[in-house]
Amino acid sequence: MIFNSLPFLVFLPLVLGVYYVLQKRAQNLWLLLASWFFYAWWDVRFLSLILISTGVDYLVGKGISESSDPRRRKVLLGVSLVTNLSILGFFKYYGFFAESLLGLLEPFHLALPLPALQIILPLGISFYTFQTMAYTIDVYRGRYEAVRKPVVFALYVCYFPQLVAGPIERAASLIPQLEKTRQVDWRAISTGLLLILFGFFKKVAVGDVLGLWVDPVFEDPSAHSGLDLWLAVYGFALQIYCDFSGYTDIARGCSTLLGIRLRVNFEHPYFATSITAFWRRWHISLSAWLRDYLYISLGGNRGGAWRTYRNLMVTMLLGGLWHGASWNFIFWGGLHGLYLAVHRAMGHNTRGEKQKTLPVALVTGMGTFHLVCLTWIFFRAPDFASSCTYLVGMFQDLSRLTIPVFDLLRGALPLVGLIVLDLIQFRNKDHLATRGKPLVFQAIFYAYLLMCICVFGVLDERTTFIYFQF
- 328-368: pLDDT as tens digits: 999 999 999 999 999 999 876 655 566 778 788 899 999 99
Query: Are 97 and 208 members of one domain?
Result: no
Asked if residue 259 lies in contact with residue 182, where contact means CB atoms within 8 angstroms, the answer is yes
Number of independent structural domains in the chain: 2
Helices 358-380 + 384-393 axis angle, to 10:
130
Q: What is the CA radius of gyration of the chain?
A: 23
How big is the CA angle at 181 (ends 194 and 9), to the nearest 5 degrees? 35
User: In this structure, is residue 470 part of a structural domain?
Assistant: no
Which amino acid belongs to residue 11? F
Query: What does the pLDDT look like over 195-236, one tens digit per residue?
Result: 999 999 999 999 999 998 999 999 999 999 999 999 999 999
Query: Are 150 and 223 members of one domain?
Result: no
Query: Are 56 and 196 members of one domain?
Result: no
Which amino acid belongs to residue 323? H
User: In this structure, is residue 228 part of a structural domain?
Assistant: yes
Query: What does the pLDDT look like over 426-455, one tens digit per residue?
Result: 999 999 999 999 999 999 999 999 999 988
Last residue of a domain, one of 160, 183, 206: 183
Query: Are 203 and 170 members of one domain?
Result: no
Rounded-to-integer distance, Cα 342 and Cα 336, Å = 10
Last residue of a domain, one of 183, 208, 229: 183
Asked if residue 245 lies in contact with residue 201, where contact means CB atoms within 8 angstroms, the answer is no
Dihedral (Cα; 129, 133, 135, 139), 10-degree rounding: 160
Helices 226-257 + 358-380 axis angle, to 10:
90
93-to-23, 57, 139, 293 alpha-carbon distances in Å: 43, 22, 28, 21
Query: Are 100 and 123 members of one domain?
Result: yes
User: In this structure, is residue 468 part of a structural domain?
Assistant: no
Q: Which of 49, 77, 52 is nearest to 62 (CA)?
A: 77
User: In this structure, is residue 285 part of a structural domain?
Assistant: yes
From the number of C-beta atoms within 10 Å of its C-beta (0-12, 13-18, 19+), residue 214 rates as buried
Query: Are 99 and 231 members of one domain?
Result: no
User: In this structure, is residue 352 part of a structural domain?
Assistant: yes
Query: Are 138 and 200 members of one domain?
Result: no
Query: Are 139 and 197 members of one domain?
Result: no
Q: End-to-end CA distance of the chain: give it in Å, rounded.
A: 16
Asked if residue 209 lies in contact with residue 410, where contact means CB atoms within 8 angstroms, the answer is yes
Last residue of a domain, one of 135, 150, 183: 183
Confidence of residue 24 (pLDDT cuts 50, 70, 90): confident
Range of the domain at 356: 187-456
User: In this structure, is residue 8 part of a structural domain?
Assistant: no
User: In this structure, is residue 461 part of a structural domain?
Assistant: no
Which among 323, 336, 343, 431 is annotated as catalytic? 323
pLDDT of 6: 85
Query: What does the pLDDT look like over 98-110, one tens digit per residue?
Result: 666 656 656 665 6
Judge whether 323 counts as a catalytic residue.
yes
Query: Are 234 and 352 members of one domain?
Result: yes
Is the peptide bond prior to 167 cis by the omega test (within 30 degrees of 0)? yes
Rounded-to-integer distance, Cα 313 and Cα 341, Å = 7
User: In this structure, is residue 15 part of a structural domain?
Assistant: no
Bigger pLDDT: 101 vs 47:
47
Query: Are 42 and 160 members of one domain?
Result: yes
Helices 226-257 + 412-428 axis angle, to 10:
60
Rounded-to-integer distance, Cα 248 and Cα 284, Å = 11
Q: Which of 106, 455, 458 is nearest to 447 (CA)?
A: 455
Query: What does the pLDDT look like over 108-159, one tens digit per residue?
Result: 656 666 565 567 778 889 999 999 999 999 999 999 999 999 999 999 999 9
Rounded-to-integer distance, Cα 211 and Cα 463, Å = 10
Query: Are 202 and 348 members of one domain?
Result: yes
Query: Are 210 and 231 members of one domain?
Result: yes
pLDDT of 110: 60
Rounded-to-integer distance, Cα 232 and Cα 212, Å = 11
